[in-house]
Amino acid sequence: MATFKEFRNNVKPNWCPGCGDFSVQAAIQRAAANVGLEPEQLAVISGIGCSGRISGYINAYGLHGIHGRSLPIAQGVKLANRELTVIASGGDGDGFAIGMGHTVHAIRRNLDVTYIVMDNQIYGLTKGQTSPRSAEGFKTKSTPEGSIESTLSPLEIALSAGATFVAQSFSSDLKQLTALIEAGLNHKGFSLINVFSPCVTFNKVNTYDWFKENIVNLEQFPDYDPSNRIAAMTKIMETNGMVTGLIYQNKERKSYEDLAVGFKQEALSKQDLKLSRQDFDKLLTEFK
């Protein structure tokens, strides 16, 4: 069985010192080892942005996709080889701006993919502009007078779209984050894990201290039931989206793969995809 060290490679991350993404990377590596995966059983697909680099820093199959398109690629990988454990990753701009359409449809489709969003509430790679997760009044290079747009709530959107697994964590809480990623990997269906991952260079508002003061951990509510969708939505709204922990999980709904008629358990790479002459002739007759 692989240890978390075996999910490391020799590529040194070039994130800024103190970036929350370091902890997200460590949590993915620990979680992968804890659920019993080998490096060749994991694929990490990422988008554009600082967080998009993460696919190159983990010893597993990896693909650094284009802006907002990590989820279509990740779903394609899973459909081609359902034997692989697939993680999609990116930032709040990647997933909740240009890629939001893909995010919503991936949620409702419920393919067995875990989506980890590193939410720093700013565009870091392009040197500090407002993202869909930035608060009203947030001043950046693109909003010098303060943002006049409302903050997008991905957790509310996920529940509304029919999500079967919704969780949120903080990069500083490595124990909780690792446990949530493990739960997401074990969940049979689409898992959304939003992670508060502070940008120490360009976001001087949503700092580590700010998150520690504002986060509401579900561990404070021992009677909380994550299977109750209404309670989950209420808790998100009560905490203004600052709640962390396993917020909602539906174990009853089947995944896309289990519902797709004729979808074989065997990976495409192991199947004989050659058409017989009989099948080829049959296809031709359909176009006559």
Q: What is the SS3 assignment for 244?
A: strand
pLDDT band at residue 37 under the 50/70/90 scheme: very high
Q: Is 286 contained in some domain?
A: no
A 10 A CB-CB count for 83 gives: 11
Q: Is 121 contained in some domain?
A: yes
> Which contiguous run of DSSP H or E holds residue 86?
strand 85-91
Q: Is 271 contained in some domain?
A: no
What are the tokens at 112? 């067995």
CATH number of the domain encompassing residue 95: 3.40.50.970
Q: Is 268 contained in some domain?
A: no
> Which contiguous run of DSSP H or E holds residue 204?
none
Domains contained in the chain, number: 1
- Domain range for residue 174? 4-263
* Bridge pairing between strands 243-249 and 42-46: unpaired
Q: How does DSSP assign 274-287, residue by residue? A: PPPHHHHHHHHHTT
Query: Is residue 254 scored above 80 in pLDDT?
Result: yes
Q: Is 282 contained in some domain?
A: no
CA–CA separation, 1 vs 33, rounded Å?
8
- pLDDT at residue 65 in the model: 92
CA–CA separation, 179 vs 193, rounded Å?
11
Q: Is 251 contained in some domain?
A: yes
Give the model confidence (pLDDT) of 54-64 as tens digits.
999 999 999 99
Ranking 9-18, 252-261, 279-288 by mean pLDDT, the lowest is 279-288
162 conformational bin, left if phi > 0, alpha if psi -120 to 50, beta if neither = left
Q: Is 62 contained in some domain?
A: yes
- Asked if residue 54 lies in contact with residue 197, where contact means CB atoms within 8 angstroms, the answer is no
Query: Is residue 274 scored above 90 in pLDDT?
Result: no
Q: Is 278 contained in some domain?
A: no
pLDDT band at residue 238 under the 50/70/90 scheme: very high
CA–CA separation, 269 vs 38, rounded Å?
19
Ranking 65-79, 86-100, 274-288 by mean pLDDT, the lowest is 274-288
Q: What is the SS3 assignment for 58?
A: strand
pLDDT band at residue 180 under the 50/70/90 scheme: very high
What are the tokens at 265? 């358990």
What are the tokens at 244? 């962390």
